[in-house]
């Protein structure tokens, strides 16, 4: 009988296959609500197969150091991809990411 995996286990398995880009080449910053993780990971999997480089928050960290990391990634990215949902529109982090992207003239 096949093992039934929880949504959390499925998310973790998919995350392990999708590495957030680290390097000096152009990349896409991905902004999304963690409430939408499974839908976002499915789309990122397609982008990964097409050889797009992207950075996404694959943790649930919070705090000033994490906000600084987000600002740094947005400043260095070539483009931003915002996944719009009710949850992302209510997210203070997604809001901060959009404002920061605007500040650095990212599209």
Contacts for 83 with CB less than 8 Å, ≥ 6 apart:
30, 31, 32, 33, 36, 39, 40, 43
- At 63 the pLDDT is 66
pLDDT digits (tens, 9 = 90+) for 30-79: 999 999 999 999 999 999 999 999 999 877 666 667 788 899 999 999 99
| pTM score | 0.83
The proportion of the chain whose per-residue pLDDT surpasses 70, expressed as a percent, equals 81
pLDDT at position 19 is 87
């Amino acid at each position: 009988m096949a093992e039934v995996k929880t949504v959390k286990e499925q998310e973790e398995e998919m995350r392990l296959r999708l590495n957030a880009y680290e390097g000096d080449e152009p990349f896409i910053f991905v902004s999304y609500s963690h409430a939408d993780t499974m839908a976002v990971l499915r789309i990122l999997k397609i982008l990964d197969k097409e050889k797009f480089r992207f950075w996404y928050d694959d943790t649930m960290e919070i705090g000033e150091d994490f906000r600084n990391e987000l600002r740094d990634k947005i400043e260095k990215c070539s483009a931003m991809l915002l996944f719009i949902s009710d949850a992302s529109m209510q997210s203070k982090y997604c809001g901060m990411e959009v404002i920061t992207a605007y500040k650095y003239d990212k599209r």
